[in-house]
């Protein structure tokens, strides 16, 4: 094998290996980030996150925990209301766009909407990258 061909093959193999490791590493990192208990919505996540932020001392930890428990239900209710409102607005948008844009674009919007609704905790419409 000629030295130039051998060097090119080694460089290409290194590039492919780097790409594969990058994809695997990124997937592992995203799974770790999104699978942490403090990142999941629902009971427990709100209180744990607030306690971590507030770092209460031992004297008032029980009182702060009780206040957080009182407010947790309302936060979850507001979150559900916002999701329902966003769903209604998206449905209205899709209805108004039918006939104005090609059907494949409407299907794409519907896929994005479904992914956003099904994948709570994953990146979806309106969520920033961190």
How much is the mean pLDDT over the chain?
A: 79
28 pLDDT band, cuts 50/70/90, is: confident
Q: Does residue 128 fall inside a structural domain?
A: no
pLDDT the model gives residue 26: 81
Q: Which of 35, 70, 78, 32 is nearest to 50 (CA)?
A: 70
Q: Does residue 60 fall inside a structural domain?
A: yes
Domain match, 23 and 58 both: no
Give the count of domains, the chain.
2
Residues 36-63, mean pLDDT to the nearest whole number: 75
CA-to-CA separations, 23 to 30, 109, 128, in angstroms, rounded: 11, 26, 20
Residues spanned by the domain of 28: 1-35
C-alpha 127, offset from chain centre = 7
Q: Enter the pTM of the model.
A: 0.44
pLDDT reading at 35 higher than 50: yes
Domain match, 106 and 48 both: yes
pLDDT, tens digit (0-9, with 9 covering 90-100), for 86-126: 888 888 988 898 888 899 988 888 888 887 765 555 444 45
């Amino acid at each position: 094998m000629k030295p130039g061909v051998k060097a090119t093959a080694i460089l290409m193999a290194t590039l492919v290996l780097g790409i594969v490791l990058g994809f695997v590493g990124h997937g592992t990192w995203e799974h770790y980030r999104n699978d942490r208990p403090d990142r999941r919505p629902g009971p427990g996540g709100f209180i744990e996150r607030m306690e971590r932020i507030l770092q209460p001392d031992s004297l008032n930890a029980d009182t702060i925990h009780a206040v957080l428990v009182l407010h947790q239900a309302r936060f979850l209710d507001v979150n559900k209301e916002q999701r329902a409102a966003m769903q209604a607005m998206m449905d209205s948008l899709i209805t108004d766009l039918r006939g104005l844009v090609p059907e494949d674009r409407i299907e794409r919007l519907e896929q994005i909407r479904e992914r956003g609704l099904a994948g709570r905790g994953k990146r979806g419409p309106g969520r920033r990258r961190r």
